Amino acid sequence: MCLFAASSAIFKLNEIVLVLDNAPCHTNAEDVFDEEQFEGAEVLKLGPYSPMINPIENVFSVYKSAVKRFLARQRPEILRVPEGVTITEHRSKFLKLAADPLFAEIVTPELCNRTFCHSLSHHQRALRFEDMQVGS
């Protein structure tokens, strides 16, 4: 069953608000919601960069910082590209070495909850369409 069918069986479309950030994959989402079958549903797009009300941005920030620290520690080895291996292949190996273990270590339910709770402090200001400083 598709998401549309599942959600419309539970909710009335005029009760659904889809909030999107500005990821490239969301570019045409509003066009889809212009179709007749989605009449009544609402799409809201966040500002160009709104980490204060988009908890996943803060989770990704913590994760990317951990990956960068790992890569900084591995820098001498990263710069020694073995013969017969492209630079891209060699560097990709280090990203893969970091990605999965660090994700499991860094992206915890506790971090997700903490970033979500932090975002709650900004929701009322967003609902009132107030300007907010990035990083506040």
Give residue-wise pLDDT tens across range 62-74: 999 999 999 999 9
CB burial of residue 53 (10 Å; 0-12, 13-18, 19+): buried
Instruction: Give the pLDDT score at 13.
Output: 73
**In this model, does residue 1 exceed pLDDT 50?**
no
Residue 36 maps to a domain: yes
CA 19 to CA 120: how far, in whole Å? 15
- With bands split at pLDDT 50, 70 and 90, how would you rate the model's confidence at 19? confident
Q: Do 57 and 30 lie in a common domain?
A: no
Name the domain count of the chain.
Answer: 2
- With bands split at pLDDT 50, 70 and 90, how would you rate the model's confidence at 116? very high
Q: Do 71 and 114 lie in a common domain?
A: yes
Q: Do 69 and 104 lie in a common domain?
A: yes
Average of per-residue pLDDT values in the chain:
86
Residue 132 maps to a domain: no
Instruction: Give the pLDDT score at 113.
Output: 95
Q: Do 84 and 28 lie in a common domain?
A: no
- The DSSP secondary-structure symbol of 82 reads P
Neighbours of 51 (CB within 10 A): 21
**In this model, does residue 49 exceed pLDDT 80?**
no
Give residue-wise pLDDT tens across range 76-91: 999 999 999 999 999 9
What is the average per-residue pLDDT within 11-24? 78
Q: Do 23 and 59 lie in a common domain?
A: no
Q: Do 38 and 61 lie in a common domain?
A: no
What is the chain's percent helix, strand, coil content, to nearest 5?
65, 5, 30
Q: Do 55 and 121 lie in a common domain?
A: yes
Q: Do 34 and 80 lie in a common domain?
A: no
Domain around 26: 3-45
Q: Do 66 and 120 lie in a common domain?
A: yes
CB 106 within 8 A of CB 58: no
Tokens describing residue 109: 């339910």
* pTM of the model as a whole: 0.65
Residue 113 maps to a domain: yes
